[in-house]
Structure 1
Amino acid sequence: MKAVVMAGGEGTRLRPLTSNQPKPMVPVFNKPIMLYIIELLKKHRLTDIVVTLQFMPQIIRNYFGDGGDIGVDLSYAVEQHPLGTAGSVKNAQDHLDKTFLVISGDALTDIDLTKLIQFHKSKRAMATIALKRVENPLEFGVVIANEDGQIERFLEKPTWGEIFSDTINTGIYVLEPEIFSYIPDGENVDFSKDVFPKALADGKPIYGFVADGYWCDVGNYEQYVQAHQEIMQGKADIQPPGIKMREDIWVGEGAYIDPSADIDGPVVIGPHVRLEKDVEIHELSVIGSNVVLKEGAHIHRSIIWENTYVGPQAHLHG
């Protein structure tokens, strides 16, 4: 089965982190978010992947190439102007003549894609949406399904008075090519707002699979920090890179840590980091690759991107 990674997002709510790179390239533990998605697809034997691009497409193409270095086969479909979630997948239609999976390239998840695909096939659905239960569904599209999983209603970003379900749309879909008949060429079209409601009105079989596991949209600063913290706390089946020096401290290759440094995990220290005398790093901090922390620097609940210099006695508190 082929997979489509939607990677055209600008990530405006994450600016300036996304001012010079597309949102799927924003690093989490020194790796682009999209790399975690590709690793998840590969884990579930989905290695023939089409990537939809729009904002700064060359940055993603230059980083991932044809995917050979990470054991997958990547091809690309580039939009000349934003086409929305459904429009971007329609733009890749030439690659998709059988059942396929769609997933966002700028969210973090460990959802079991194999179970999702099996559910889709068992229901003989035209579309299956991976759903997740959340405490606050206000920012997301809410979905209600019957006991068999067949979807009955959609509501995009409801108010508290409109909330009728705690299951939200994760933006992960298994689709049949028949779905393309609901997506006009060259137009900005959204799956949740436009395509699924029309197909539902026509009586097409659209199902929701309530998934276990971790999912985080990483849509704003708070969610960006939250994703790092939750992964370090073991809430997701996603491993921070590096060698595990203690139960909750990961250290990258070539890092230098002065013996006087005080590290209180969970902490992730990237490759070729230099921690000088009396540096203190406290819980839920991430130090990017090639960072230098000078003597007496204190870091607490902070995420420091790569190639950063932190001066003597500097204190960073997140």
Structure 2
Amino acid sequence: MRAIIIAGGFGSRLRPLTTRHPKHVLPVAGVPFLMHQISKLADADITEVVLAASYRADQFEPIVTAAKGIGVTVRVETEDHPLGTGGAIRHAAESMAMRPDEGVVVLNGDQLSGHSIALQAEEFAAARADVSLHLVEVADPRAYGCVPTDDAGRVTAFLEKSPDPVTNQINAGCYVFRRSVIDAIPAGAEVSVERETFPELLRSGAAIIGHVEDRYWLDVGTPEALVQASRDIVTGAVRTPAYPYTPSERYVESGAEVHSRASVRGGSAVSRGARLGANARVDGSVVMGGAVIADGAAVIDSVVGPGARVGMRTTLRGTALGDDAMVGADCELTAGARVACGATIPDGAIRFSSG
């Protein structure tokens, strides 16, 4: 079986972290996010993956090289213009030589999941389905479109957001398609698989089944979610083959400089080239390569981009700093603050926020 990863989005919700990088290469627990997905596919014996790419596609080349190390061949197929999720799947599949009845695993490029792709693929084959959707149950489905299923597990509808949802099952962004279904998507057109392809298949009587697993799932689409995903991997709340280490309070990559009196805890991840000064505190956060956390600074539930600097005695809470951003000494940045790439916050800026 082969796989497609949809990796063409601009990552607007993740700005400023995505101003210079596609969201799929941002480090999560010290590993580019795509490698968590590729290693999960490798665990399901999938060794051929196509990345449906667009934004800053040149930055995927290190991923291609890293994937070879775990026995996975990755090709990057770049769109000339935006094709939507359905169009991206159709475009990526054109480079795959396979029979019309074979299954293709398709992953959204910003989902972290603990579910079994192998089990989903087995159920797809046993049911002779046209499409299988991974569904998860959420406590409050009002923020999502819902996907109800019948007693046999077949999808009965694709419903928009509602204040009174009929089910708490939502689309978790992992599919198995029969190749012939992908080939029926119009070539070269902008198509939404969620809003167009799936409802049309349902109206035509296609066999669409839901694969429901009550395991970890997270949409890694905001700085807050990226921090949570990294923290959950480091602490062991979710396991991924790309992170083989024992769950702990911290992951400090070789080549990071951490002062003996600095504190790293709460599932924090500190990348190679980062520097933490005396009495610096990093708690439940992501500190990317080349970032500097000065003496006495506190970084809490935050993400500090590559080359960014946090001044002495400054506190960040729920903050995202873009590449090469600089925050002066004695500042306090409150939850939700986002500092653009290369921007400078002067000394003593108290309670600076995004609002």
TM over 0.5: yes
Q: Could you give the per-residue CA deviations for residues 41-60 of structure 1, whole angstroms, max 9, x where no partner exists? A: 11111111111112222222
Identical counterparts, % of pairs:
29
Distance 1:151 1:241, change over 3 A: closer
What is the rounded CA distance, in whole Å, between the counterparts of 2:222 and 2:262 in structure 1? Answer: 32
Query: Secondary structure of the residue that 2:148 maps to in structure 1?
Result: strand
Q: Post-superposition shift, 1:160?
A: 1.0
CA apart distance, 1:73: 0.6
Q: Deviations over 1:181-201 (max 9, x none)?
A: 541121111222111221211
Shift of 1:228: 3.1
Deviates more, 1:146-155 or 1:256-265: 256-265
CA RMSD of aligned residues (A): 2.4
Matches within 5 A, 1:1-318: 1-61=1-61, 63-65=63-65, 67-94=67-94, 95=96, 97=98, 98-156=102-160, 158-161=161-164, 163-180=165-182, 182-238=184-240, 247-282=248-283, 284-318=284-318
Counterpart contact for 2:112–2:218, Cα < 8 Å: yes
TM-score (norm 1): 0.89
Post-superposition CA distance 1:82-128 (Å, at most 9, x none): 11111111112331532111011222222210110111111110111
Query: 1:240 Cα shift?
Result: 8.6
Q: Give the secondary structure class of the aligned counterpart of 2:199.
A: helix
CA distance in 1, matches of 2:258, 2:26: 26
Instruction: Verify the 8 A CA contact 2:235 2:248 in the aligned structure 1.
Output: no
Matched-pair contact (CA < 8 Å) for 2:148–2:157:
yes
AA in 2 matched with 1:276: G
Given that 1:57 and 1:78 are in contact with CA atoms closer than 8 Å, whether structure 2 keeps it comes out as yes
8 A contact 1:83–1:186 mirrored in 2: yes
Q: CA deviation at 1:21?
A: 2.0
Change (3 A) 1:207 1:60: same
SS of residue matched to 2:209: strand
Over 3 Å counting, the alpha-carbon distance change for 1:93 and 1:259 in structure 2 is: closer
Q: Deviations over 1:121-163 (max 9, x none)?
A: 111101111111112323433101111111111113x1213x1
Unpaired stretches in structure 1, ≥5 consecutive residues: none
Give the whole-Å Cα distance in 1 for the aligned partners of 2:176 and 2:93. 14
Aligned partner of residue 16 in structure 2, secondary structure: coil
- 2: distance between equivalents of 1:23 and 1:274? 23
The 2-side partners of 1:214 and 1:56 are apart by 29
Extract unaligned runs of 5+ from structure 2.
319-355
Give the Cα–Cα distance (whole angstroms) in 1 for the partners of residues 20 and 292 of structure 2.
23
Alpha-carbon deviations, 1:219-273, whole Å to 9, x = none? 23333333234334432113795976x9422221133333323444333232343
What SS class does the counterpart of residue 155 from structure 1 fall into? Answer: coil
Q: Which amino acid aligns with 1:108?
A: L
Residues in 2 aligned to 1:26 and 1:107: alpha-carbon distance in whole angstroms: 13
Name the count of aligned residue pairs. 314
Take 1:66 and 1:29, find their aligned partners in 2: how far apart are those partners?
16
Taking the aligned partners of 1:93 and 1:243, their CA distance within structure 2 comes to: 34
TM-fit CA distance, 1:7: 0.8
In 2 relative to 1, CA 176–269 (structure 1 residues): closer, same or farther, beyond 3 Å? same
**Could you say what secondary structure the match of 1:141 adopts?**
coil
- Matches of 1:46 and 1:240, distance apart in 2: 15
TM-score (norm 2): 0.80
CA distance in 2, matches of 1:197, 1:247: 44
CA distance in 2, matches of 1:175, 1:220: 28
